[in-house]
Amino acid sequence: MREIVNPRKRRHRSVKIYKCTMELEIFTLCDYAVESQPGKLTFVGTFDTIFCQNIPVIHPSCSLALRLRVANKEAGIHALELIFQSPSGNEISKIDGELEFRVNEFANYSTTNFVINFGNLELSELGTYTFELRIDGEFMSGLSMHVTKIDPSQIKKVA
């Protein structure tokens, strides 16, 4: 944690503001993700671009996987917000929820995994789709997914 001192009040008393020092270890788009055992995150087929011949395109199985780490002294419930936006800026979906970090008796930190599975994800625009992750109201990270039209004759060159 970092102590922030208000310089205007330095003569009187310090104002201490503590921020949660959470680390984002994994934040990725993939074909498949699951927490197979408590604490064990498995993900397959990480990608950031979808090539298509026509719009709309449907991705049959798409997952978003993330893993967060926090010091035991900051264990507890933290607010999570995830916003998925189209290239034109329209909100496709938004998740508001909570993540619970339990004190880890075997280490000085606690981790949690979070998986979102999108079945038959329909993408109706070409361009860059974005995922924005906020924890406790603070921006944590962003992720981009590009949808690009490609001529069928170019598929072998890209793959």
Query: With contact defined as beta carbons under 8 Å apart, do 30 and 50 qualify?
Result: no
CATH number of the domain encompassing residue 31: 2.60.40.1930
Q: Is residue 75 part of a domain?
A: yes
Distance CA 15, CA 24 (A): 28
pLDDT above 90 coverage of the chain, percent = 70
Q: Is residue 8 part of a domain?
A: no
- Kind and range of the H or E element at 155? helix 155-158
Query: With contact defined as beta carbons under 8 Å apart, do 105 and 21 qualify?
Result: no
Q: Is residue 91 part of a domain?
A: yes
Q: Is residue 2 part of a domain?
A: no
Q: Is residue 94 part of a domain?
A: yes
Q: What's phi and psi for 87, nearest 5 deg?
A: -60, -30
Domain count along the chain: 1
Specify the pLDDT at position 37: 85
Indicate the range of 19-23, 68-72, 80-84, 111-115 predicted with least confidence: 19-23
Residue with tokens 């298509």: 52
Amino acid residing at 95: I
Q: Is residue 61 part of a domain?
A: yes
Q: Is residue 4 part of a domain?
A: no
Q: pLDDT tens digit string along 9-22?
A: 444 444 444 455 78
Q: Which two tokens stand for residue 154?
A: 């170019």
| pTM, entire model | 0.79
Specify the pLDDT at position 39: 83
Specify the pLDDT at position 9: 44
Q: Which domain holds residue 45?
A: 24-158
Asked whether the predicted pLDDT for residue 92 surpasses 60, the reply is yes
Q: Is residue 45 part of a domain?
A: yes
